[in-house]
Each structure stands twice: as C-alpha cells, then as structure tokens.
Amino acid sequence: MRSFFILFLCFMAFSAQAEVTRAWEDYSDPAIRNPNFEKSFRNLPLKGIISDNRKIWANDYWAHKKGSINFRWNAANKIGFKLNSPLRAEAMMMSQAALAELAPTEKMDLLNGDYNYSIRKEVEEIASKQAEIWHGICNGWSPAAINHNEPTPKTFTNPDGIVVPFGSSDIKALISYYYAFHHAVRSTNQMGKRCFFMGLGCDEDLNAGAFHIVLTNTVGRGESMIADVERGRQVWNHAVSEYTSTIVDANLLPSKKSAKGTVRRIHLKTDMTFVQGIQKNSWYPTLGTPDHINGVRYYEYTLDVDAFGMIIGGDWISKVRPDFIWEMERATSFSGKFVNLSQLLND
C-alpha cells in the first residue's frame, strides 16, 4: 500500500552477485529493530505464535479504487464515490438500519456532529477510481491489528442526540486509516528496502540471516511484526502471526557468498503465517470464524554461523522472500477529528 507518512526508499544495488564480506548491509541489520536481539541459533525457537488471540484481525485493505474508507460496505448499493451524505435534519430522521449503511467516514463525522463531513472529504482526496488495485491502507491496517484488540459493534450518541451505529468493519476502517495517515512516529524501524523491479537491487534487500533473527526474536517470543510479503513492485503489508522452521541440514560448509567468519551454514525451510486481507466486511468480529483467513509464505534459506554459534549472515534459496519488515508503536491517544476513536476501541 502507498503510505504518505511511511516512506519506503529503494536504493538500486547492482552488486547483488558480489561476494558478501560482512554479515549484512546496514539497512538489513537486526539492530535496527533491537540491538539486544538474541543471535545464538541454538537459543532461538524453531516455532513461534503470537500470544494475544484478541489481536491480528482480518480486515479489508480499503482499496483507493473503491473509495477507501468512504466505501459504503454495509449498504445494498455499495458505493465509495460521490456520496450524498445526510444533512443534520435528515440524519435525525434516519432509522438505525439506514444509518448503519453509511460509510465509516460518514459515521465518524456524524459522531463528531460534523455535518460538513470533513473526514469524508479528506478521504476523497486520496481515493481515485484510477488508482491501481493494490493501493490502499494495509500500511495502517497491519500496525492497527497488532496494537489493538479486534473491534466489536458499538453505538454512540452524537451532540444532537443521533444514535450512530458502528460495525466491527467500520471501526477497523477508521483505526487503520488513522495509523496510515495520522499516527506520527519517530521511526518504523524498517529493515530491508522496497523492491521496485524484480532482479534489480532486490536480491539482497533483506538478508536471510537477519530476517531469521528478527522473526524468532519477535514472533518466537509471542509478539508480531509487519512484513511486505510480496517481493515485487506491489506492496502488501501483513501482520505475522506464526512460523515454523525445519532444519534441512545443520552442517553445510561455508560458500563463497558466506559472511566473513562463517564456519558452517544451516539450511532451513520456514513457513510464515500472516493474517490475510478480506473482501467481505462484517458487522461482527471475524477472529475464530471462517471469515478470518490466514496466508502462508514458504521460505528457504541458509544461515551463516560463526565459531560461537552466532548467526552472522545468510543467503536466500527460495525466490519467494519478504521485501522488508517493520513495526509501528501503539497510538496511546487520538486527537483532532479522530479524538472519539478511543471510545470505539476495545483496549
């Protein structure tokens, strides 16, 4: 997804086939995420799963091509452009069923008593029928799903006494949009670089050894991380929920591409599970239901290990691999047009 607050830079590296003489490039250093990560292979778990089953929820990525979060997902006529939002007098006469059909933005504006619909108008500026199909707000959904419990339906009364109903997907849309466009952080601790063209500066974007260190130190300890699971030009950010690694061979000799100081290589296959985006929005939570869908990527790589058993590098075998991984710290408060978001959440 495109991000207007998170800029993923790609510096084209034409020396991907050259011998690697150090552990990993600076942009792929696990210290970006945490300088104290465990690097001893024997101390890192071969399996991991997130510890909080209230998080990592499925969500629409709210494609800009469909109107983003202006999309009236709960209406019979599912539109996302040229919305005829109700005036104050009209909204006061609407039934709960009719109000429930409005877009997430319209509901938030109504809750704020804003009949000029400033949030809806803001979203109109980024939504476009000409946008590429993959453009949306998965860069907001993924950190929101990691940091907040799955929303449940709620109703709140606005300053004029209008009872505004919110479904689970309405709240997911709003919190995802907030993280994508309004939640400012000092750093996203991104490792790896965005690949714009396959085969050009993409072979060594995210070092395999560095990836394994971060995966096992986060998901292996019950936490999640965000990965762009598509290696090419398109960006699909997903929250990782689980992994399983299998040792194929633990005693391979160093290769010409091994990091300096490597005494042996370990051949691994890793299945990484992440929450999938959904096209079917819901009034109710989806965790634990058939509407919650996971995706899996199957990775294969070798780890460079030194004489002390520390992972100091690695090399990809599979063409399938994550483009970059990152995180975003939790929003502890909301302001401006989104100040009422806190009462919609289940935290």
Q: What is the pLDDT of residues 153-169, one digit of tens each?
A: 999 999 999 999 999 99
Q: Mean of the pLDDT values across residues 299-320?
A: 96
Amino acid identity for residue 75 in this structure: A
pLDDT tens digits for 193-242? 887 665 555 555 799 999 999 999 999 999 999 999 988 788 999 999 99
> Could you tell me which residues come within 8 angstroms of residue 18 by beta carbon, excluding any fewer than 6 positions away?
none
Residue 22 predicted with pLDDT over 70: no
Return the closest-CA partner of residue 116 out of 146, 138, 86: 86
Give whole-number Cα distances, 162 to 87, 97, 111, in Å.
12, 13, 8
Q: What is the pLDDT of residue 7?
A: 34
Q: What span, in angstroms and rounded, lies between the C-alpha atoms of 330 and 324?
A: 20
Return the pLDDT at 233.
82
Q: Which residues are CB-contacts of 38 (< 8 A; sequence separation ≥ 6)?
A: 44, 213, 216, 217
On the question of pLDDT at 251 being above 60, the answer is: yes
Residue 71: phi and psi, rounded to 5, are: -70, 125
- Given pLDDT bands bounded at 50, 70 and 90, which one contains residue 294? very high
Residue 188: which of 330, 59, 339 has the closest Cα?
330
pTM over 0.85: yes
Q: What is the per-residue pLDDT for 232?
A: 78
